[in-house]
Amino acid sequence: MIALLIRDLRLAVRAGGGFGLGLAFFLIVVTLVPFGVGPEGGVLARIASGILWLGALLACLLSLDRIFALDFEDGSLDLLATAPIPLEGVVTMKALAHWITTGLPLVVAAPVFGVLLHLPQGAYLWLIVALILGTPALSVLGTFGAALTVGLKRGGLLMSLLVLPLYVPTLIFGAELVRRGAAGMATQVPLMMLAGITAATIAIVPFASAAAIRVNLR
Amino acid sequence: MSIWEYANPVKFMKTSSLVLPWAAGLTAISLIVGLVWGFFLTPEATNFGSTVKVIYVHVPSAMMAINIWAMMLVTSLIWLIRRHHVSALAAKAAAPIGAVMTLIALITGAIWGQPMWGTWWEWDPRLTSFLILFLFYLGYMALWGAIDNPDTAADLTGVLCLVGSVFAILSRYAVNFWNQGLHQGATLSLDKQENIADVYWVPLLFCIAGFVLLFVTLVLMRTRTEIRARRLKALEQRERMA
């Protein structure tokens, strides 16, 4: 499984656009928002955490289709499915590789983008905490959408329709955590809910993704 | 005699052709009685005026929107566990009806909300979760439409329905946390001392029964269509092989 993780990471880095592309997309979203809503600091500070979360969501979504599609095309997904490790493990490793190449850079870069959006002082810590806790769930749920649409020629738009509604709980609690943290309110409830949703997602969704892949490989 | 006999398409077609006219007739009767009674023969409520009559479409359609998803969940489970094709086709047939019911509930809610709350739309937990439910219906139907192989499509949409159910319920309670509600609580419940007044309650019962029967009629019709379409496809395939 470690070998699979390293292989995926290596592919992402060497094939180009692994780390950089998601970040660049994130930067573009953050740059475009002030054009849309105007440059006043007060407005931006109010919506900053929401924008950062939406940017993370979209950056994650755009890189989903390459999780399984390339392996499906060149047949290595068939080999992985017949490999001695369970397909659920393969899916989890794929999700982890996806998170390291898109989620983790976003977590690291989010404070910088927060500065661009006048994020309130107290919110930085909570923004990082929320993204660290929330983005793994985005990647794991993404494998589910990618697994459902892997056999389709043009599955991209369909996949967004399937995956985005699943992101609703994570987005709600993630954004709420940052908002409450920024306002100095109690953050325990959204923090625990966010962590709980992520933990449950990691525990359960790989089974659904693996089932979908088996159907598609049949 | 068990319910699994209806997994046989021939048996299902035979029984459903007998049931269908009765279901359609009863639908017409209860909807006409409920709607005419509700719209024209009930008094206007204090504070609400005649807008209260939206309830006769709003409440039944909202109930059906949720229960149709539950029905799809059950039929998807039956398909995934016992692999009865009729079950998968029933889930496929129910999805558009559920989506339309959700849309009706949202639109009548907007029509009711405008005079009562002074707004067409409010990001209230109930309204928001219905919108999310509508998105789930759309995704489910889109996935059915996108895949050519019927068995693959049935499997994948079945899995999507299971995962979607979990996340739909999760979203329902997450939005509760996110915003305060403008929508009133449950109007009808079995364990409460006082529901709405009987003058409104009885025609509402007719409407709810009418919507349930309407759904049964439509889902039987659509499932029959799906079975016939499947037979046609099989015939065409045999033709091409020969």
**Digit-coded pLDDT (tens) for B94-150:** 999 999 999 999 999 888 888 878 888 888 888 888 999 999 999 999 999 998 888
Q: Of B218, B211, B126, B137, which Cα lies nearest the Cα of B171?
A: B126
Given a cut of 90, whether residue B210 has pLDDT beyond it is: yes
pLDDT digits (tens, 9 = 90+) for B66-93: 999 999 999 999 999 988 889 999 999 9
Q: Do the Cβ atoms of B186 and A181 come closer than 8 Å? A: no
Given a cut of 80, whether residue A25 has pLDDT beyond it is: yes
pLDDT category of residue B40 using cuts at 50, 70 and 90: confident
Residue A62 touches partner B, C-beta closer than 8 Å: no
Q: Are A162 and B167 inside 8 Å of each other by CB?
A: no
Q: Do the Cβ atoms of A27 and A65 come closer than 8 Å? A: no
What pLDDT score was predicted for residue B226? 92
What pLDDT score was predicted for residue B45? 67
Nearest to A162 among B139, B147, B175 (CB): B139
What pLDDT score was predicted for residue A16? 61
Residue among B167, B175, B180 with most chain A CBs within 10 A, to mutate: B167
Q: CA-to-CA distance for A91 and A138, rounded, in angstroms? A: 14
Given a cut of 60, whether residue B190 has pLDDT beyond it is: no
Report chain A residues whose CB lies below 8 A from the CB of B148: none
Report chain B residues whose CB lies below 8 A from the CB of A193: 174, 177
What pLDDT score was predicted for residue A30? 87
- Nearest-by-CA chain A residue for B162: A208
- Nearest-by-CA chain B residue for A190: B177
Lowest mean pLDDT among A97-106, A120-129, B183-192: B183-192
Q: Do the Cβ atoms of A105 and A129 come closer than 8 Å? A: no
Report chain A residues whose CB lies below 8 A from the CB of B152: 151, 215-216, 218
Report chain A residues whose CB lies below 8 A from the CB of B166: 204
Mean pLDDT of chain A: 86
pLDDT category of residue B194 using cuts at 50, 70 and 90: low
Q: Are B167 and A215 inside 8 Å of each other by CB?
A: no
Q: CA-to-CA distance for B56 and B138, rounded, in angstroms? A: 25
Kindly calculate the radius of gyration of chain A based on its CA atoms and give it in whole angstroms. Answer: 18
What pLDDT score was predicted for residue B196? 67
Given a cut of 80, whether residue A17 has pLDDT beyond it is: no
Give the pLDDT mean for A129-148: 92
pLDDT digits (tens, 9 = 90+) for A73-115: 888 888 888 888 888 998 999 899 889 888 888 888 888 888 8
